[in-house]
Chain A
């Protein structure tokens, strides 16, 4: 008997909030960038490239975390197993990422058609995110949603299972995971090589390839964490 779909639909009961927050905040960020660069963007070579897009990713991460804090105790209370709940949350995130990826792609098309909203602004497709293939472009948009989403889910589950100290341990682990290589690279004087490596990667491998691997790892970590989590 498959209860994954019903468990997913429970999240969609209040679907407008799933759309309204990320896109409302993205729109706000867009408007501010547009106004700002309309005033000062004239002298930027190649047009202003903004990082405003990151807002929609941050909100998606937070909302993925909330799908745990809000819906995990509720769903478990309504006789959903942890495994089914996790499958439902993952399915939801996958659908959300794909939808958002497509929507961003459509926005990019408009951005291109209007020559960067009339001021050559790269908001939805800043040059470093660009791919000319529609499918690849959608993937480039989509996979970071998955990474951040599964990270939000994993962090919220760590919180559920081990409480606030679990979150601290997670933060320390993350810092070490990022900090130790940084120390090593500095000590060995490898920064130039690292920079070159990143430069050699295409937007696809950098934003979809490696992150896909990371998303998979985070999804697995979440699954292991939820197995013995209690509400």
Chain B
């Protein structure tokens, strides 16, 4: 599979703060990427730079084969839906959709109309009078109907209710299956999208913490629970991300090579083996208070 985005040592500084610190990664064509991380981790800044809306302080960047800054050819194939998108004051919903139709070469008018129905968006209402959820729905509709080869969704569904979010996931998956494209989804509702995401990019304090396929992560990460001694034995061959203790019993979140053989060994020791949700992983990796990226540091507190 080919690469649609390559970032090499991308750094962004705002005065004294470093928003992105020597970030390198690639995005694979026709894959749904999850760009995860805490508030202020640098997700939005990264997406702004990838879409030519902001400038990197240093580093190399290639989007759809070229540098995105002021590049009409590249940007015609890019759609960036962000929570903070503003619309001209006198625009009604239908005006915003017309603008999107004019600007995105891959725009599908029928699909847009179907989505407007799905989300029950009033076409003649002024955009600034939409509720937060409806405003998000408008962004989601534009992002989906644009059918851009490279689509970014940055917290696309602030204020959307559970039903509307499910509609978004369903339509996204169905349309993605018919019209494969590269999608980057940034969200805090990690559990909800964990089945959608094929590749995980975890960013924390401007650094890439994790860049792996969701499938690899599923085999690498386990929760092991049982007597201390046995858990210690298993943990010796793995990274320990977190540990909870209840009397004599220990529950540890581990990252390592848990292939079928190793899994058999673990269960053979009388330990209970459970998968780790993506959300739990993200919480474990990013809840360290002293310096990001120290995977061995145990997490603080339970996520739930």
| Chain A stretch 198-231: residues in CB contact (< 8 A) with chain B | 227-228, 230-231
Contact pick for B52, options A1, A6, A75, A81, CB 8 Å: A81
- Shortest B138–chain A CB gap in Å is 12
Distance between Cα atoms of A84 and B52 in the complex (Å): 13
- Shortest B71–chain A CB gap in Å is 7
Question: A14-B90, A79-B79, A84-B72 are known contacts. Are A228 and B55 too (CB-CB below 8 A)?
Answer: yes
| Chain B stretch 56-115: residues in CB contact (< 8 A) with chain A | 70-73, 75-76, 78-80, 82, 85-91, 95, 98-100, 102-104
Distance between Cα atoms of A6 and B103 in the complex (Å): 6
Give the number of chain A interface residues (Cβ < 8 Å).
27
**Contact assessment for A79 and B103 in the assembled complex, using a CB-CB cutoff below 8 Å:** yes
Please name 6 pairs of A and B residues whose Cβ atoms are closer than 8 Å in the assembled complex, sorted by A: A74-B87, A79-B78, A81-B70, A81-B75, A230-B54, A231-B53
Question: A10-B102, A79-B80, A230-B54 are known contacts. Are A3 and B72 too (CB-CB below 8 A)?
Answer: yes
**Contact assessment for A79 and B76 in the assembled complex, using a CB-CB cutoff below 8 Å:** yes
Q: Which of B48, B76, B82 has the most CB of A within 10 A?
A: B76
Q: Is the interface of A mostly helix, strand, loop or mixed?
A: helix
**Contact assessment for A77 and B85 in the assembled complex, using a CB-CB cutoff below 8 Å:** yes
Residues of B near any A CB (own CB < 8 A)? 48, 51-55, 70-73, 75-76, 78-80, 82, 85-91, 95, 98-100, 102-104, 142, 148
Q: Which residue of B lies closest to A71 (CB)?
A: B88
- Shortest A124–chain B CB gap in Å is 28
Distance between Cα atoms of A75 and B88 in the complex (Å): 10
**Contact assessment for A14 and B55 in the assembled complex, using a CB-CB cutoff below 8 Å:** no
Question: A14-B95, A74-B99 are known contacts. Are A3 and B53 too (CB-CB below 8 A)?
Answer: no
Residues of B with C-beta under 8 A to A230? 48, 53-55
Distance between Cα atoms of A217 and B80 in the complex (Å): 34
**Contact assessment for B73 and A78 in the assembled complex, using a CB-CB cutoff below 8 Å:** no
**Contact assessment for A3 and B70 in the assembled complex, using a CB-CB cutoff below 8 Å:** no
Further contacts, 4 of them, CB under 8 A, given A74-B85, A78-B104 = A1-B72, A7-B103, A10-B99, A14-B91
Residues of A with C-beta under 8 A to B52? 81
| A114 adjacent to chain B (CB < 8 Å) | no
Give 7 nearest A-B pairs by CB, closest first: A70-B88, A79-B75, A6-B102, A10-B99, A81-B70, A78-B103, A13-B95
| Chain A stretch 69-111: residues in CB contact (< 8 A) with chain B | 70-71, 73-84
| Chain A stretch 1-25: residues in CB contact (< 8 A) with chain B | 1, 3, 6-7, 9-10, 13-14, 17
| Chain A stretch 96-132: residues in CB contact (< 8 A) with chain B | none
**Contact assessment for A78 and B78 in the assembled complex, using a CB-CB cutoff below 8 Å:** no
Contact pick for B103, options A10, A17, A82, CB 8 Å: A10
Question: A79-B51, A81-B70 are known contacts. Are A1 and B76 too (CB-CB below 8 A)?
Answer: yes
Residues of A with C-beta under 8 A to B75? 79-81
Residues of B with C-beta under 8 A to A80? 75, 103
Q: Which of A3, A71, A78, A83 has the most CB of B within 10 A?
A: A78
Contact pick for B82, options A75, A77, A83, A227, CB 8 Å: A77
**Contact assessment for A77 and B70 in the assembled complex, using a CB-CB cutoff below 8 Å:** no
Q: Which residue of A lies closest to B95 (CB)?
A: A13
Residues of B with C-beta under 8 A to A70? 88-89
Q: Which residue of A lies closest to B51 (CB)?
A: A79
**Contact assessment for A83 and B103 in the assembled complex, using a CB-CB cutoff below 8 Å:** no
Residues of B with C-beta under 8 A to A76? 53
Residues of B with C-beta under 8 A to A79? 51, 75-76, 78-80, 103-104, 148
Question: A14-B95, A78-B104 are known contacts. Are A83 and B88 too (CB-CB below 8 A)?
Answer: no
Distance between Cα atoms of A228 and B70 in the complex (Å): 10
Distance between Cα atoms of A17 and B91 in the complex (Å): 11
Question: A10-B102, A14-B95 are known contacts. Are A77 and B72 too (CB-CB below 8 A)?
Answer: no
Question: A9-B102, A17-B90, A84-B72 are known contacts. Are A77 and B55 too (CB-CB below 8 A)?
Answer: no
**Contact assessment for A78 and B88 in the assembled complex, using a CB-CB cutoff below 8 Å:** no
Contact pick for B80, options A1, A75, A77, CB 8 Å: A77
Distance between Cα atoms of A66 and B269 in the complex (Å): 70
- Shortest A224–chain B CB gap in Å is 13
Distance between Cα atoms of A1 and B73 in the complex (Å): 7
Residues of A with C-beta under 8 A to B99? 10, 13, 74, 78
Residues of A with C-beta under 8 A to B103? 3, 6-7, 10, 75, 78-80
Q: Which residue of B lies closest to A67 (CB)?
A: B88
**Contact assessment for B71 and A81 in the assembled complex, using a CB-CB cutoff below 8 Å:** yes
Distance between Cα atoms of A129 and B98 in the complex (Å): 41
Residues of B with C-beta under 8 A to A227? 70
Q: Which residue of B lies closest to A73 (CB)?
A: B86
Question: A6-B102, A70-B89 are known contacts. Are A81 and B80 too (CB-CB below 8 A)?
Answer: no
Q: Which residue of A lies closest to B73 (CB)?
A: A1
Residues of A with C-beta under 8 A to B98? 13
